[in-house]
């Protein structure tokens, strides 16, 4: 376990658990926290012992209640742009991390918090969690990817409604519109996130990594480009030991034991 000023990092077997830890400010993301997250992601990215990452918030009330408003209050236009660019870069690092990333949303996921959850691959929410992009109430649009990832996840009409009204929705509604994958009780949240991580870890790691890369590539590209990329990674996986093991195990009617090679 390691503890920076605003983050806690635990490695539980092959699962890396990042906890945003500023509970007094409802885990709001200030520049220091984003810098710590950026550095931690670099370490995790190069650590092959970490197979899946879970991101959650400290305390029972908030996942992350947004970017830190007290810090942003006096920003100039240039400072705002640079803060936005940095937050976007950190969240893109999450999106492009080789390991799958699960957001365990334990409470408010507002503004930058909703954007953080959306940069993760999978979102599991406690039934007390609340989601929204309330930035327009503060005189700004979302700045850490919300205008881009929200419509990709829930479609343009629903995204525009949430962005224009700043409405806060509960976990059930977030599930209904496809913003979260699953809703659990608060007590079961981490167990559920770990169970999802374990299930993913039982699959062939390189194949999982290639799924993530191909989905990300495809969402940023025209269909033919995404399909061409898929054919490449599909082919590449036939050069892995895990493809041999997976298909041999099927033919031999036994459970595959993958090695990540």
Interacting residue ranges for ligand CAA, rule: CB under 6 A: 25-26, 28, 65-70, 87, 108, 110-112, 115, 134-135, 138, 142-144, 146
135 is annotated as an active-site residue: yes
Q: Which of 16/113 has CB closer to ligand CAA? A: 113
Q: Which residue's CB is nearer to ligand CAA, number 121 or number 135?
A: 135
Least distance from ligand CAA to the Cβ atom of residue 143, Å: 4
Identify the active-site residue in 60, 71, 95, 135: 135
Bridge partner list, 101: 53
Catalytic residue among 115, 161, 187, 198: 115
Q: Which of residues 133 and 240 has its CB atom nearest to ligand CAA in the complex?
A: 133
Report the nearest approach of ligand CAA to the CB of residue 222 (Å). Answer: 28
Closest separation in Å from C-beta 146 to ligand CAA: 6
Q: Tell me how far CA of residue 162 lies from CA of 66, 91, 141, 142, 159, in angstroms.
A: 15, 20, 11, 11, 5
According to DSSP, the residues that pair with 7 across neighbouring strands are: 20
Q: Which is nearer to ligand CAA, 15 or 119 (CB)?
A: 119
Degrees, nearest 5: CA angle 138-143-147 = 100
Q: Give the count of beta carbons closer than 10 Å to the beta carbon of residue 186.
A: 14
In the complex, minimum distance from the CB of residue 175 to ligand CAA, in angstroms, rounded to a whole number: 20
Q: Smallest distance from the beta carbon of 154 to ligand CAA, in angstroms?
A: 17
Question: Within 13 Å of residue 78, how many CA atoms lie on the same side as its CB?
Answer: 0
Q: Is the Cβ of residue 130 or residue 158 nearer to ligand CAA in the bound state? A: 130
95 a catalytic residue: no
Q: Which long-range contacts (CB under 8 A, 24 or more apart) does 183-188 make?
A: 183/124, 183/125, 183/126, 183/127, 183/129, 184/124, 184/125, 184/126, 184/127, 185/126, 185/127, 186/60, 186/106, 186/126, 186/127, 186/128
Active-site residue list: 115, 135
């Amino acid at each position: 376990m390691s503890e920076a000023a605003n983050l806690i990092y635990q490695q539980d077997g092959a699962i890396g658990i990042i906890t945003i830890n500023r509970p007094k400010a409802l885990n709001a993301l200030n520049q220091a926290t984003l810098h710590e997250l950026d550095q931690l992601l670099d370490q995790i990215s190069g650590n092959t012992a970490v197979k899946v990452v879970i991101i959650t918030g400290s305390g029972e009330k908030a996942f992350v209640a947004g970017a830190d408003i007290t810090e942003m209050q006096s920003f100039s236009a240039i400072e705002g742009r640079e803060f936005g660019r940095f937050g976007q870069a950190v969240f893109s690092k999450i999106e492009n991390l080789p390991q799958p990333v699960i957001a365990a949303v334990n409470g408010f996921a507002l503004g930058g918090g909703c954007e953080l959850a959306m940069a993760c691959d999978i979102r599991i929410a406690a039934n007390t969690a609340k989601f929204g992009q309330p930035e327009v109430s503060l005189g700004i649009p979302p700045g850490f990817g919300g205008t881009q990832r929200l419509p990709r996840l829930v479609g343009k009409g629903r995204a525009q409604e949430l962005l224009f009204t700043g409405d806060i929705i509960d976990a059930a509604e977030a599930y209904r519109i496809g913003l979260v994958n699953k809703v659990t009780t608060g007590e079961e949240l981490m167990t559920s996130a770990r169970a999802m991580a374990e299930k993913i870890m039982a699959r062939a790691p390189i194949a999982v990594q290639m799924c993530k890369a191909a989905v990300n590539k495809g969402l940023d590209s025209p269909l033919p480009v995404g399909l061409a990329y898929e054919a490449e990674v599909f082919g590449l996986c036939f050069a892995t030991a895990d493809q041999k093991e997976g298909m041999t195990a099927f033919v031999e009617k036994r459970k595959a034991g993958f090695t990540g090679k």
